[in-house]
Amino acid sequence: MIFGIIALSLVLQLVAAILALRLIRVTGGAFAWTLLALASLLMVGRRSLALHHLYTTPPTVPPLLVNEVIGLLISLLFVAAVAGLSPLLARIKNAEDYWRESEHRLRGMLDNTGLIAVMLDDRGAITFCNRHLLDLTGWSREEVVGGNWFDTFIPVDQREGVIERYRHDLAGGELPLHSQNEIIKKSGERLLIAWHNTMMRDGSGRVVGGTAIGEDITERMRVEEEIRRLNTELEQRVSERTAELAASTRELEGFCYSVSHDLRTPLRAIAGHSAIIREECSAINHSCRHHLGRIERAAVRMSELIDALLELARVARHAAHPEEINLSRMAQQVLTDLRIASPERSVACAIDEGLTACGDPVLVRVALQNLLENAWKFTAGNPDALIEVGSETADGETVFFVRDNGVGFDMAHAGKMFGTFRRLHRDDEFEGTGIGLATVKRIIERHGGRVWAEGEPGRMAIFRFTLPGLRPCEPEHPADFLSSNAHAQGVPVNVSGK
């Protein structure tokens, strides 16, 4: 029986030795497991010798059964302990390998990113930095890792404050998520870095340092500063231009006063002297009276042109106040005034109900009045005259129109109709200044809209316009205003106007 116990103990110790040898491989050659494997092999050798002597030479004093049973139990427990630790140590080894591999991948990723990555301990010593920091600053890894971050990278004039903030944040247990500060390159050049910071803690939760990812924003800040400088310069230019426009507006007002007063005075003198000659020189012949009539009509026309110019200037300077406008009621009022002024005319009028828009009532009234006066004037030769005011929808947009069945016009001239002093008819056919439609165009454009015309000679004309919304008042520059008038010198033509 003792022989069997010793043999079983020998087998168990051999198994323990084999498991210990396996753990040497699993743990990467740990010294403790190497000693344990050697001890197990020595015990196997000792038990083998004891078993051999017992088998070949019977002892004079037989081994105690109790001692051998205890040895067997110890061997059994030893095998159980080694076998139980083996999978646990294997998992630990796998976890360590995974951690090392993850760390290797992370370091590789940080090295290849275009951002700075740095890790500091609680004293400010650099425990890790990536290649981008080294490439950016010109330092080598051997010069940086293990050294003090603040002594190496923070400018002397900022170092004390940065160190104090770092210590204060570590003591408070929280780093600011975002921060900015300058660092110095090996050459002494400064870079501005924007940081994203994270606190590092050990397994017990104790703060052991910080990790920061940084971006070099030196060039970006330079560009932003340049943009701010350009914006400041632009604002200054805008202010200067605004002042010039204000001065130009005052000049325009002075021009209007000059037109109103200085030009009217000689016109009144011309008209007055013509009337005196007509009254006092009763013996003048028919030819002289004809020429006097032409002088008087020219003076009246010049006065009308001055009135039209003043109206156009007032439209350009008018400070608009948008509100909801009832275009149906406004059109009815204008046509009523026209009927009162020309009671001999019989004109049928069709106005759609409920025509509304948002705009300045003064400006819109001027535009609508010009369009309706044109329609009234150019239907004078039609005994069945008809004027229509309505709206239609095109591409989701409301389009208003004024239509008449008067003399119409050739579409070849449609693009010229809204110019200043442009007329399509001679004065002996239809009176007018050629400014009315130019005024309409400027008013509609002030409201962000469009105006256009369609016509057919001898049959009809229709003027369409939109009123999407009112724009701020932008007074015209006098040079622009005068050039548009000068452009009319010697030019025949356009319709309408007053």
pLDDT digits (tens, 9 = 90+) for 353-366: 999 999 888 889 98
CATH of the domain at 145: 3.30.450.20
Q: Are 454 and 473 contained in the same domain?
A: yes
Does 400 map to a domain?
yes
Among 45, 74, 108, the domain boundary falls at 108
> Interior CA angle at 181 toward 178 and 184, to 5°?
140
Q: How confident is the model at residue 58 (pLDDT cuts 50, 70, 90)?
A: low
Instruction: List strands edge to edge, sheet with 126-129.
Output: 126-129, 116-121, 207-216, 190-201, 178-184
Cα–Cα distance, 186 to 137 (Å, whole number): 6
Residue 41 · residue 16 · CB < 8 Å: no
> By the 8 A CB rule, do 185 and 203 touch?
no
Residue 496, domain member (yes or no): no
Mean pLDDT comparison of 325-329, 380-384, 491-495, highest-scoring range:
325-329
Span of 82-86, 368-372, 441-445, 486-490 with lowest mean pLDDT: 486-490
pLDDT value at residue 191 = 94
Cβ proximity of 498 and 488 under 8 Å? no
Q: Is residue 361 part of a domain?
A: yes
Same domain, 98 and 147: no
248, 475 Cβ separation under 8 angstroms = yes
Q: How far is CA 295 from CA 49, 277, 489, in A?
A: 153, 12, 20
What pLDDT score was predicted for residue 303? 76
Which of 108, 128, 159 is the endpoint of a domain? Answer: 108
Q: Do 101 and 122 share a domain, yes or no?
A: no
Q: What is the pLDDT of residue 90?
A: 67
Higher pLDDT, 393 or 283: 393
Residues 125 and 104 in one domain: no
CATH number at residue 431: 3.30.565.10
Helix (H) or strand (E) holding 348: strand 348-351
Pick from 392, 417, 413: nearest CA to 403: 392
Return the higher-pLDDT residue of 405 and 414.
405
What dihedral angle (degrees, nearest 10) is formed by the CA atoms of 256, 257, 259, 261? 160
Average pLDDT over residues 118-144: 91
Question: Where is pLDDT greater, at 216 or 472?
Answer: 216
Find the helix or strand (DSSP H, E) in which 287 lies. helix 286-317
Length of the chain (residues): 498
pLDDT at residue 254 is higher than 50: yes
Looking at residue 59, its pLDDT comes to 56
Q: Provide the percentage of residues in the chain whose pLDDT is more than 90.
A: 30
Interior CA angle at 444 toward 371 and 400, to 5°?
A: 60
pLDDT greater than 90 at residue 83: no
pLDDT at 72: 57
Residue type, 272: G
pLDDT the model gives residue 12: 60
Same domain, 365 and 454: yes
Q: Is residue 491 part of a domain?
A: no
Of 181, 216, 251, the residue that ends a domain is 216
356-381 residues labelled b (16+ CB within 10 A) or e (exposed): ebebbeebbbbbbbbbbbbbbbbbee
Supply 485's token pair. 């008038």
On whether both 16 and 127 belong to a single domain, the answer is: no
- pLDDT category, 268, cuts 50, 70, 90? confident
Q: Which stretch of 5-9, 140-144, 354-358 has the lowest confidence by average pLDDT?
A: 5-9
Task: Please check whether residue 242 lies inside any domain of the structure.
Answer: no
Amino acid at 354: G
424 and 323, same structural domain? Answer: yes
Separation CA 387–CA 347 (nearest Å):
7
In a domain, 394, yes or no: yes
Is residue 265 included in any domain, yes or no? no
Residues 90 and 120 in one domain: no
For the segment 101-123, the average pLDDT, to the nearest whole number, is 80
The number of distinct structural domains making up the chain is: 3
Higher-confidence residue of 54 and 120: namely 120
Residue 177 confidence (pLDDT) above 60: yes
Clarify whether residues 121 and 191 are in a common domain.
yes
Which residues have C-beta within 8 Å of that of residue 64, sequence separation ≥ 6? none
So what's the pLDDT on residue 15? 64
Kindly indicate the confidence band of residue 16, based on its pLDDT and cuts at 50, 70 and 90: low
Mean pLDDT across the chain: 77
- Whether 287 is covered by a domain: the verdict is no
Higher pLDDT, 480 or 188: 188
pLDDT for residue 496 = 34
pTM for this model (two decimals): 0.45
Q: Are residues 93 and 201 in the same domain?
A: no
- The per-residue pLDDT for range 302-345, each reduced to its tens digit, is 776 777 667 666 666 666 678 899 999 999 999 999 999 888 98
Same domain? 409 vs 385: yes
Please check the confidence at residue 245 and state whether its pLDDT lies above 70. yes
Q: Which domain holds residue 77?
A: 2-108
> 410 or 13, which is more confident?
410
Of 275 and 29, more confident: 275
- Pair of tokens at residue 320: 């608009």
195 vs 254: which has the higher pLDDT: 195
* Whether residues 345 and 396 fall in one domain: yes
